[in-house]
């Protein structure tokens, strides 16, 4: 009996031991640490040299399916902002035998190197910082190790520092101090991130707490993390004190005068026993037409056993739900982190309100109805686009979206100016204007680029082209916006007798023609001269004082006549000439001239004149230059000749178009097919027949997409998510299936729509604000992002890929432009797709 009891105890201990081992973090084949429910990435994603601290790099924690911590690295401030210096990761070593990942971090400006070694230790990791040379004198008290935690996943949760209880604040609360600007470590390219209003001091947040043992969210097991630091203090900061996109920062200063192992942290993320990620049932939040294919894609944890079937329920007029269909689950396979299965309910065609049930999981409801797609572009065209009209006051009912911005105009950017938004003025101005001289006449028309207020010329060129394509292909007569160029006033939901798209074409062309006529060619951008303006959130009209800068006045002084000020807030025109950009503009001007004829004949004639001039001049400038590897110059040249042929009927342009097109299609049919399809209505039948083999080749590409991912659409894996690729793909399908229905099945266009409206990885929210009435995304990266809000009709970039295997799209944290920022280019591209798709389904 005693032997049996002893054996039972031993068995229980062994089971407990093996369970504990199963919870330990292990170094996997993708070179990060994991256990079920916890992934710790160690410099799988690196800091960029462009926008610096994008909150997407360093040591990162994916905690029960959500990336909740990032930025683990030696940093030079308590709460780093976007333009603060980031370390260069010069090498990264993975040692499977010792279960370590090591990286060398370097700050070139200070000749400062550190080594960060991360080691799996039971259920957590040990982070150790090594120095071969002491911290440079200039960085003593500034250099420290930081790890940042996502505020939206922690606010209103508890924390303990050395046993002292508190809560993470929902809104930034804390204390700051000010220090001389000379004491602040360098920032990227020397930019300051806040206007000190002449005080000569910067704001430095003070810690909310200090101690040696820090416990995050003991009241939420899914977010519970324990951090201990035996050698140096841990400090908790609220990064939102300086910038709305700041995170909660846990930080320890590196000791001065020491070398070797100078800091050790133990970080233990809690893993819920037996945790399995809830299935993500991807379906269209907008709904489905009765006759269209209807396939839900279900994303599963790889440890979740797929069910045999799923069901569809219909909600009756009495509010009761009835099962109307049950179908088998079809396996698709693994795609990066998760396993995918499909549920086909295409046979259900009766109009009504439905939801999907998979196991115990119910989706929100959706519609099957003949008119579900009728309004998919209305919010974008009625609200988002007019709100982004520059140099206009925009009103909506009781709300003013923004006053008239940038009345003071634009100044010539000085030579050899490097800009924080990745622009640069070369050694010459390439204009007749001197450095900082006012360039008259540019403060007219144009569209804000995105979540900021600059006019990106390349984007605005594509925007006008998108409007023209929409107008010429579908002639949308929708009129819901009052636009008065003389008053510089826009009023939403107020018809004025003119189709809105025609007024949008005019508004964009006004600015671009002004650039061509006044500057002599296209500017790179009309943008902010100081960083404090660039990251402005709020009314664009309050970004500057509306008065031209007068160097004879003191700082912030206003002239006695009220017509100038001593505030250096005027925007700059970056004017280095780019003949490829001029070529793109020539394409757009040719198209715009057609659309404007009969509506604004003067602007139409000016646009056509600039198109011909820029085509001639840019072609001469490009003649001695090789084409880039992506064929961008070739694509612009092809499109320009097509648009000029359509506008003028001159044979020389049509011949040149075809001369360039066929070799381009041989190189890459995916890139050039849509341009070729645009030509079909304007050329004879032989052109269409010659194009047919290329459409067959494109169909083979579509077949490959079915094997590439479970959604059957192109999914981008870069630093900008792929909604734009999907809308362009969908647009190509719409036109190709119209002209070649025997080759291209329009069902592929439904896949593009489904993806945008909820059938995609990570979650099933519609990526278009307010479109998909039951569950569209709630927050976006727009100019009102500080309010955790959105502008209706905005299209999110979508599912951002984080190396090596994680897709994400935050709907509780807007401050990631690569996944949440709607752009004027992307949203007008969506306008084309939505218009083409509505035309296709009718």
**Per-residue pLDDT tens for 92-147?**
999 999 999 999 999 999 999 999 999 999 999 999 999 999 999 999 999 999 99
> Both 92 and 164 in a single domain?
yes
> Both 493 and 573 in a single domain?
yes
Q: Catalytic: which of 299, 390, 678, 821?
A: 821
> Both 265 and 284 in a single domain?
no
- Residue 517: predicted pLDDT: 98
**What's the rounded Cα separation, in Å, for the pair 343 and 363?**
13
Residue 675, token pair as written in the block: 């341009």
> Both 360 and 439 in a single domain?
no
pLDDT at 298 over 60: yes
**What's the rounded Cα separation, in Å, for the pair 289 and 293?**
8
| Least confident piece of the model among 125-139, 376-390, 416-430, 704-718 | 416-430
Which whole-number Å values give the CA distances from 103 to 73, 93, 576, 664, in the listed order?
10, 6, 39, 43
- Residue 773: predicted pLDDT: 75
**Inside any domain, residue 783:** no
**Inside any domain, residue 539:** yes
> Both 152 and 71 in a single domain?
yes
- Residue 3: predicted pLDDT: 44
**What's the rounded Cα separation, in Å, for the pair 367 and 354?**
6
pLDDT at 19 over 90: no
**What's the rounded Cα separation, in Å, for the pair 158 and 137?**
37
| Structural domain of 347 | 280-368
pLDDT at 1 over 70: no
| Least confident piece of the model among 262-271, 436-445, 529-538 | 529-538
pLDDT at 43 over 80: yes
Residue 378, token pair as written in the block: 């209305």
Q: What is the mean pLDDT of residues 341-352?
A: 98
**Inside any domain, residue 41:** yes
Q: Do 751 and 711 meet the contact criterion of CB atoms below 8 Å apart?
A: yes
Q: Which tens digits make up the pLDDT trace of 578-592? A: 999 999 999 999 999
pLDDT at 7 over 80: no
**Inside any domain, residue 807:** no
- Residue 634: predicted pLDDT: 58
> Both 532 and 412 in a single domain?
yes
Of 547, 577, 607, the residue that ends a domain is: 577
Closest alpha carbon to 833 in 762, 781, 778, 767: 767
Q: What is the mean pLDDT of residues 373-382?
A: 97
34 as an active site residue: the answer is no
**Inside any domain, residue 417:** yes
- Residue 196: predicted pLDDT: 76
Of 577, 598, 628, the residue that ends a domain is: 577
Q: What is the mean pLDDT of residues 255-276?
A: 98
- Residue 597: predicted pLDDT: 97
> Both 339 and 446 in a single domain?
no
- Residue 542: predicted pLDDT: 94
Higher pLDDT, 184 or 547: 547
**Inside any domain, residue 815:** no
Most confident of 6-20, 25-39, 535-549, 634-648: 25-39
344 as an active site residue: the answer is no
pLDDT at 10 over 50: no
Q: Catalytic: which of 370, 374, 437, 812?
A: 812
**What's the rounded Cα separation, in Å, for the pair 450 and 498?**
26
pLDDT confidence of 173, banded at 50, 70, 90?
Answer: confident
Residue 325, token pair as written in the block: 């269909």
> Both 291 and 215 in a single domain?
no
How many independent structural domains does the chain possess? 3
**What's the rounded Cα separation, in Å, for the pair 151 and 157?**
10
Tallying the residues shown for the chain, one arrives at 842
Q: Which tens digits make up the pLDDT trace of 224-247? A: 999 999 999 999 999 999 999 999
> Both 137 and 215 in a single domain?
yes
Q: What is the mean pLDDT of residues 551-568?
A: 94
CATH number reported for the structural domain that contains residue 145 in this entry: 2.70.98
User: DSSP E strands: which ranges in 564-698?
Assistant: 571-574
Q: Which tens digits make up the pLDDT trace of 306-331? A: 999 999 999 999 999 999 999 999 99
pLDDT confidence of 200, banded at 50, 70, 90?
Answer: confident
Q: What is the mean pLDDT of the chain?
A: 94
Residue 776 CA, distance from chain mean position: 17
- Residue 420: predicted pLDDT: 85
**Inside any domain, residue 76:** yes
pLDDT at 15 over 90: no
- Residue 12: predicted pLDDT: 39
Closest alpha carbon to 296 in 348, 336, 352: 348
CATH number reported for the structural domain that contains residue 308 in this entry: 2.60.40.10
- Residue 195: predicted pLDDT: 73
> Both 41 and 140 in a single domain?
yes
> Both 342 and 407 in a single domain?
no
Residue 396 CA, distance from chain mean position: 26
- Residues of the chain with pLDDT > 90, as a percent, come to 88
**Inside any domain, residue 253:** yes
Q: Which helix (H) or strand (E) holds 107?
A: strand 100-107
pLDDT at 562 over 70: yes
pLDDT at 198 over 90: no
**What's the rounded Cα separation, in Å, for the pair 782 and 453?**
10
DSSP helix/strand/coil, 35: strand
Of 577, 601, 623, the residue that ends a domain is: 577
- Residue 8: predicted pLDDT: 45
pLDDT confidence of 652, banded at 50, 70, 90?
Answer: very high
Q: What is the mean pLDDT of residues 594-606?
A: 98
C-alpha R_g of the chain: 29
> Both 146 and 168 in a single domain?
yes
pLDDT confidence of 627, banded at 50, 70, 90?
Answer: low
């Amino acid at each position: 009996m005693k032997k049996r009891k002893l054996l039972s105890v031993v068995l229980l201990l062994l089971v407990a031991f093996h369970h504990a081992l199963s919870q330990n973090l292990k170094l996997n084949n993708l070179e990060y640490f994991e256990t079920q429910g916890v992934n710790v990435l160690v410099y799988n994603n690196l800091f960029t040299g462009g926008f610096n601290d994008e909150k997407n790099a360093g040591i990162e924690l994916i905690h029960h399916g959500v990336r909740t911590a990032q930025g683990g690295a030696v940093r030079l401030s308590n709460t780093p902002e976007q333009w603060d210096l980031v370390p260069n990761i010069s090498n990264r070593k993975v040692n499977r035998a010792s279960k370590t990942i090591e990286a060398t971090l370097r700050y070139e400006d200070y000749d400062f190197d550190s080594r960060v070694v991360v080691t799996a230790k039971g259920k957590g990791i040990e982070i150790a910082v090594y120095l071969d040379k002491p911290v440079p004198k200039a960085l003593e008290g500034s250099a420290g190790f930081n790890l940042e935690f996502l505020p939206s996943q922690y606010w209103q949760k508890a924390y303990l520092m050395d046993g002292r209880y508190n809560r993470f604040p929902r809104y930034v609360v804390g204390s700051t101090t000010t220090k001389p600007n000379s004491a602040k470590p360098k920032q990227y390219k020397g930019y300051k991130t806040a206007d000190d209003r002449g005080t000569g001091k910067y704001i430095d947040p003070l810690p909310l707490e200090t101690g040696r043992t820090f416990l995050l969210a003991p009241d939420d097991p899914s977010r519970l993390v324990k951090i201990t630091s035996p050698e140096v203090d841990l400090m908790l900061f609220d990064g939102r004190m300086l910038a709305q996109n700041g995170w909660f920062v846990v930080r320890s200063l590196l000791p001065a005068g020491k070398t070797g192992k100078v800091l050790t942290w133990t970080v233990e993320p809690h893993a819920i026993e037996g945790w399995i990620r809830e299935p993500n049932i991807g379906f269209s939040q907008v709904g489905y037409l009765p006759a269209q294919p209807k396939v839900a894609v279900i994303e599963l944890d790889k440890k979740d056993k797929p069910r045999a079937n799923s069901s569809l329920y219909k909600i009756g007029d009495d509010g009761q739900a009835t099962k109307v269909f049950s179908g088998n689950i079809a396996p698709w396979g693994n795609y990066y982190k998760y396993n995918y299965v499909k549920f086909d309910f295409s046979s259900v065609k009766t109009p009504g309100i439905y939801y999907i049930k998979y196991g115990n999981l119910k989706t929100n409801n959706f519609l099957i109805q003949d008119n579900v797609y009728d309004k998919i572009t209305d919010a974008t065209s009625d609200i988002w686009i007019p709100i982004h009209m520059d140099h206009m006051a925009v009103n909506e009912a009781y709300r003013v979206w923004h006053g008239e911005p940038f009345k003071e105009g634009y100044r010539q950017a000085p030579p050899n100016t490097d800009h924080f938004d990745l622009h640069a003025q070369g050694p010459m101005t390439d204009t007749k204007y001197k450095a900082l001289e006012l360039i008259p006449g540019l403060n007219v028309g144009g569209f804000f680029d995105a979540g900021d207020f600059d006019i990106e010329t390349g984007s605005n060129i594509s925007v006008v082209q998108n409007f023209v394509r929409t107008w010429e292909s579908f002639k949308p007569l929708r009129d819901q916006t009052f636009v008065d160029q003389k008053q510089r006033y826009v009023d939403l939901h107020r018809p004025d007798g003119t189709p809105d798209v025609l007024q949008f074409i005019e508004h964009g062309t006004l600015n671009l023609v002004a650039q061509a006529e006044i500057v002599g060619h296209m500017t790179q951008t009309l943008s902010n001269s100081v960083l404090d303006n660039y990251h402005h959130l709020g009314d664009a009209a309050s970004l500057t004082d509306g008065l031209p800068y007068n160097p004879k006045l003191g700082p912030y002084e206003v002239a006695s006549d009220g017509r100038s000020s001593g505030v250096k807030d005027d925007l700059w025109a970056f004017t280095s000439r780019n003949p490829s950009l001029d070529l793109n503009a020539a394409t757009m001007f040719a198209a715009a001239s057609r659309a404007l004829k009969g509506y604004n004949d003067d602007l139409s004639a000016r646009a056509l004149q600039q198109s011909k001039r820029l085509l001639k001049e840019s072609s001469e400038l490009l003649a001695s230059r090789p084409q880039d590897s992506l064929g961008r110059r070739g694509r612009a040249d092809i499109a320009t000749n097509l648009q000029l042929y359509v506008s003028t009927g001159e044979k020389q342009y049509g011949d040149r178009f075809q001369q360039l097109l066929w070799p381009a299609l041989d190189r890459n049919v995916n890139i050039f097919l849509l341009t070729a399809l645009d030509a079909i209505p304007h050329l004879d039948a032989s052109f269409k027949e010659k194009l047919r083999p290329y459409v067959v080749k494109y169909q083979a590409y579509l077949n490959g997409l079915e094997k590439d991912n479970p959604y059957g659409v192109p999914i981008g894996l870069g630093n900008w998510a792929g909604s734009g690729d999907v809308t362009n793909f969908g647009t190509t399908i719409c036109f190709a299936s119209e002209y070649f229905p025997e080759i291209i099945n329009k069902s592929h266009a439904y896949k593009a729509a489904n993806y945008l409206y909820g059938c995609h990885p990570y979650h099933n929210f519609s990526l278009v604000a307010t479109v998909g009435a039951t569950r569209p995304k709630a927050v976006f990266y727009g100019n009102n992002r500080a309010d955790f809000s959105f502008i209706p009709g905005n299209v999110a970039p979508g599912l951002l890929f984080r190396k090596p295997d994680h897709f994400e799209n935050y709907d509780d944290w807007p401050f990631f432009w690569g996944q949440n920022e709607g752009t004027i280019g992307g949203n007008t591209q969506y306008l084309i797709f939505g218009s083409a798709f509505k035309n296709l389904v009718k």
